[in-house]
Amino acid sequence: MKKILIIDDEPFVRSVVRKYLSQWDLFEIMGECANSYEGLKSIETLKPDLIFLDIQIPKINGFEMLKLVDYPVSVIFTTAHDEFALKAFEISAVDYLLKPFSQERFNQAMEKWEKQANPGNNQVSLSELTEQPD
């Protein structure tokens, strides 16, 4: 079971992420946080596999919070600000969801994360490519 943490100051957005995640098997939402201090503490305590992170959150922003995280974690940003996309990918974000995002766009981000988390699942071996049919 993959562990998920949602960090966003907007209760509505957290509920949307929860709803969209309900369409996916094998994921457990470990918690929700409304600010970066709660988020940092929860990451260190819960050790999630993936976090959904808003950039403009109370206390310190999402980028500043990530600098303080000692635990390697995958991040999908959920934000209303498109100007931070380049910076997000520079720090190896899995994806960048611009609010409001659809279930379809959310699913694309989740599929991208699954491929990164399990790279061997979608690869074809060289022997499969070179086998000749009988």
CB 63 within 8 A of CB 86: no
pLDDT in tens, the chain (134 residues): 899 999 999 999 999 999 999 998 889 999 999 999 999 999 999 999 999 999 999 999 999 999 999 888 999 999 998 888 988 988 889 999 999 999 999 999 999 999 988 776 543 333 333 344 44
The neighbouring-strand residues paired with 51 are: 5, 75
| Contact partners, residue 34, CB within 8 Å, separation at least 6 | 8, 9, 11, 57, 58
Model confidence, pTM: 0.85
Which CATH number describes the domain made up of 2-130? 3.40.50.2300
| CA 68 and chain centroid, separation | 17
